[in-house]
């Protein structure tokens, strides 16, 4: 499995034609204590760069953008019930949603881990 990153501090774990998407540990450290997460609906079609989920801390709301185009196949209901997972395990249990990748060439514009580290460094 490959993990890719966006400049908006999201990660994508690619498994065949399914991408699991979450926000990075760097993102959660900037957001602070997460108290609310809103996810897209299963079956909804996401367009790259559209605001599709929301993550809110005590003090502010932030959008999560679709890093690529595709259809939502699964969302993390556990995260909705326990938004603090974003702070405790951003790269693991706090995945947001999975999408079926519409166009694999969209992955070409994303960063690998080394490039992302340089981006946040």
Partner 1 sequence: MLAREPESLKRVPLHDLHVARGGKMVPFAGYDMPVQYAAGVLKEHLHTRSRAGLFDVSHMGQIALRPKSGRVEDAALALERLVPQDILGIVPNRQRYALFTNDSGGILDDLMVANFGDHLFLVVNAACKAQDEAHLRKHLSGDCDIEPLIDRALIALQGPKAEGVLAHFAPTVASMTFMDAGPQTITVNGNPLACFVSRSGYTGEDGFEISIPAGDAELLATALLDHPDVLPIGLGARDSLRLEAGLCLYGHDIDETTTPVEAALEWSIQKIRRSGGERAGGFPGADVILSQLQTGASRRRVGLRPEGRAPVRENAPLFADSMSTAQIGKITSGGFGPSLNAPVAMGYLPKPQSPGAKGVAEMSFAEVRGQKLLLKLSAMPFVANTYKR
Find the binding residues for partner 1 in span 8-37 (CB under 8 A).
30, 32-33, 35-36
Considering beta carbons, is residue 49 or 58 the nearer one to partner 1? 58
Instruction: Output the six-digit token pair for 51.
Output: 């605001």
Out of 16, 41, 43, 59, name the contact with partner 1 by CB under 8 A: 59
Q: What are phi and psi of 62, to 5 degrees?
A: -130, 145
Out of 6, 20, 24, 57, name the contact with partner 1 by CB under 8 A: 57
d(C-alpha 13, C-alpha 67), whole Å? 12
Out of 8, 14, 18, 56, name the contact with partner 1 by CB under 8 A: 56
First to last CA, the chain: 24
Q: What are phi and psi of 54, to 5 degrees?
A: -130, 140
CB of 35 to partner 1, least distance (A): 4
d(C-alpha 88, C-alpha 52), whole Å? 22
Contact in structure between 46 and 66 (CB atoms under 8 Å): yes
Tell me, residue by residue from 80 to 99, as one string, x for binding to partner 1 by CB under 8 A and - for no binding.
---x----------------
Residues of this chain that interact with partner 1 (CB under 8 A) are: 30, 32-33, 35-36, 38, 54, 56-59, 61, 83, 120
């Amino acid at each position: 499995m490959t993990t890719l990153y966006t400049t908006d501090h999201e990660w994508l774990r690619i498994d065949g034609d399914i991408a699991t998407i979450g926000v990075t540990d760097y993102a959660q450290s900037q957001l602070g204590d997460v108290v609310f997460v809103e996810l897209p609906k299963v079956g909804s079609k996401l367009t790259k760069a559209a605001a599709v989920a929301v993550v809110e801390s005590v003090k502010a709301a932030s959008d999560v953008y679709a890093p690529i185009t595709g259809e939502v196949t699964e969302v993390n209901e556990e995260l909705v019930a326990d938004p603090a997972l974003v702070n405790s395990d951003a790269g693991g249990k706090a995945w947001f949603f999975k999408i079926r990748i519409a166009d694999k060439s969209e992955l070409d514009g994303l960063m690998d881990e080394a490039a992302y580290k340089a981006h946040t460094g």
